[in-house]
Chain A
Amino acid sequence: MNIKILDSWLREYLKTKAGAKTIADLLSLTSVSVERLEKYGKNDLTYDIEVTTNRPDLMSVVGLAREAAAVLQQFGNQAEFIPPQISKPQKVKEKLVINIKNNPKLVGRITTIIMSVDLKQSPQYIKDRLETGSIRSINNVIDVTNYVMREIGHPAHVFDYDRLTTKALIIRESKKGESIVTLDNKEHILGGGDIVADDGFGKIIDLLSVMGTQNSVVTDKTKRILFFIDNCDQDRIRKTSMSLNIRSEAAVLNEKGVDPEMAMDAMLRGIELFQEIANGKLLSDIIDIYPNKPPLKRIEVSGEAINSIIGIKIPLKTSENILKKLGFGVVVKTNTLTITIPSFRNKDMEIPEDVVEEIARIYGYHKLPSILPPLYSAENYHLAKDIFYWEKRIKESLKYWGFTEVYTYSMVSENLLEGPTEQAVAIENPLTEDFAYLRKTLVPSLLQATRDNPGRNEVRIFELANIYIPRSKDLPKEILMLAGIIKKQKISFLEVKGIAEQLLNEVGIKDISFEKGDKGGLEINIKLGSEVLGNIEMLNEDIADFELNFELIEKYANLTKIYNSIPKYPPIIEDLNIIIDPNITYEKICSFIKSQSSLINDVSLIDTYKNTKTFRIKYQDPQKTLTNEGVSKIREKLLQNLKQKFPQK
Chain B
Amino acid sequence: MQIKNSAVSMIIDAADEKELEEIKLQFLGKSGKLTLALKEITKVPIERRAAVGSLANDVKKTIEETIKNHESRIMNQESKTRTEKLDITAPGIKPAIGHLHLITQAVEEISEIFRHIGFTRVRYPEVEWDKYAFEDLNFPKNHPARDDWETFFIKQDPDPKKGPMILTPHTSSGQIREMERKNPPIRMLNIAKCYRRQSDVSHSPMFHQFEGLVVDKNISIAHLKGTLDYFVKSYFGEDRRSRIRPYHFQFTEPSFEVDVSCGMCKGHGCKLCKEGWLEMGGSGMVHPNVLRNGGIDPKEFTGFAFGWGVERVLMMKEGIKIDDLRFLYSSNLNFLEQF
- A contact residues vs B (CB 8 Å cutoff): 24-25, 28-37, 52-55, 235, 238, 242, 308-312, 348, 351, 353-354, 356-357, 360-361, 365-366, 368-373, 375-379, 381, 388, 392, 395-396, 398-411, 425-431, 435, 438, 448-449, 452-453, 456, 459-461, 465-466, 468, 470, 473, 475-476, 478
Question: DSSP class of A's interface residues: helix, strand, loop or mixed?
Answer: mixed
- Contact in complex: B98, A402 (CB < 8 Å): yes
**A357-B254, A365-B243, A404-B98 are contacts. A311–B220 as well, Cβ < 8 Å?**
yes
B126 in contact (CB, < 8 A)? yes
Shortest Cβ distance from residue B118 to the other chain A in the assembled complex, whole angstroms: 5
Shortest Cβ distance from residue A103 to the other chain B in the assembled complex, whole angstroms: 19
**B 221-247 contacts with A by CB, 8 A:** 221-223, 225-230, 243-247
Residue in B closest to A34 when the chains form the complex, CB atoms: B275
Number of A-B contacts (CB under 8 A): 220
Q: Which of B127, B226, B248, B336 contacts A53 (CB 8 A)?
A: B248
- Contact in complex: B98, A351 (CB < 8 Å): no
- Contact in complex: A310, B127 (CB < 8 Å): no
- Residue pairs across A and B with Cβ atoms less than 8 A apart, 30 shown, are A34-B275, A37-B275, A238-B144, A242-B147, A308-B218, A309-B221, A357-B254, A361-B245, A361-B246, A365-B256, A368-B221, A371-B223, A371-B226, A372-B226, A373-B187, A373-B216, A375-B187, A377-B185, A400-B98, A402-B98, A411-B195, A431-B197, A435-B205, A438-B127, A453-B331, A460-B98, A466-B193, A468-B127, A476-B154, A478-B125
How far, in angstroms, from A353 to B251 measured CA to CA in the complex? 12
B137 in contact (CB, < 8 A)? no
**A311-B222, A370-B222, A431-B199 are contacts. A405–B101 as well, Cβ < 8 Å?**
yes
**A309-B221, A372-B117, A407-B101 are contacts. A425–B154 as well, Cβ < 8 Å?**
yes
**B 125-165 contacts with A by CB, 8 A:** 125-129, 142, 144, 147-149, 152-156, 159, 165
Q: What residues of chain B lie closer than 8 Å to A470, measured between beta carbons?
A: 156
- Contact in complex: B126, A395 (CB < 8 Å): no
- Contact in complex: A375, B222 (CB < 8 Å): no
Q: Which of A348, A365, A408 contacts B245 (CB 8 A)?
A: A365
How far, in angstroms, from A307 to B274 measured CA to CA in the complex? 32
Q: What residues of chain B lie closer than 8 Å to A396, measured between beta carbons?
A: 100
Q: Which of A55, A429, A476 contacts B148 (CB 8 A)?
A: A429
Q: What residues of chain A lie closer than 8 Å to B328, measured between beta carbons?
A: 407
B46 in contact (CB, < 8 A)? no
Residue in B closest to A312 when the chains form the complex, CB atoms: B222
- Contact in complex: B223, A373 (CB < 8 Å): yes
Contact with A along B92-124 (1 / 0, CB 8 A): 000111111101100010010000011011000
Q: Which of A405, A410, A426 contacts B206 (CB 8 A)?
A: A410
Q: What residues of chain A lie closer than 8 Å to B206, measured between beta carbons?
A: 409-411
- B contact residues vs A (CB 8 Å cutoff): 95-101, 103-104, 108, 111, 117-118, 120-121, 125-129, 142, 144, 147-149, 152-156, 159, 165, 167, 182, 185, 187, 193, 195, 197, 199, 205-206, 214, 216, 218-223, 225-230, 243-248, 253-257, 274-275, 285, 287-288, 302, 328-334, 336-337
- Contact in complex: B97, A366 (CB < 8 Å): no
Most buried by A among B121, B152, B199, B227: B152
How far, in angstroms, from A473 to B161 measured CA to CA in the complex? 12
Q: What residues of chain B lie closer than 8 Å to A28, measured between beta carbons?
A: 245, 275
Residue in A closest to B99 when the chains form the complex, CB atoms: A404
Most buried by B among A54, A372, A425: A372
How far, in angstroms, from A376 to B193 measured CA to CA in the complex? 31
How far, in angstroms, from A615 to B247 measured CA to CA in the complex? 72
Q: What residues of chain B lie closer than 8 Å to A235, measured between beta carbons?
A: 142
Q: What residues of chain B lie closer than 8 Å to A55, measured between beta carbons?
A: 248
The 6 closest A-B pairs by CB, nearest first: A311-B220, A311-B222, A402-B96, A357-B254, A449-B331, A52-B248
Q: What residues of chain B lie closer than 8 Å to A31, measured between beta carbons?
A: 246
- Contact in complex: A357, B155 (CB < 8 Å): no
How far, in angstroms, from A493 to B129 measured CA to CA in the complex? 43
Most buried by A among B125, B148, B222: B222
Q: What residues of chain A lie closer than 8 Å to B219, measured between beta carbons?
A: 373
How far, in angstroms, from A370 to B330 measured CA to CA in the complex? 40
Shortest Cβ distance from residue B235 to the other chain A in the assembled complex, whole angstroms: 15
How far, in angstroms, from A449 to B329 measured CA to CA in the complex? 10
How far, in angstroms, from A381 to B214 measured CA to CA in the complex? 18
How far, in angstroms, from A117 to B256 measured CA to CA in the complex? 47
Q: Which of B185, B220, B227, B245 contacts A376 (CB 8 A)?
A: B185
How far, in angstroms, from A526 to B154 measured CA to CA in the complex? 33
Residue in A closest to B144 when the chains form the complex, CB atoms: A238
Shortest Cβ distance from residue A260 to the other chain B in the assembled complex, whole angstroms: 18
- Contact in complex: A308, B220 (CB < 8 Å): yes
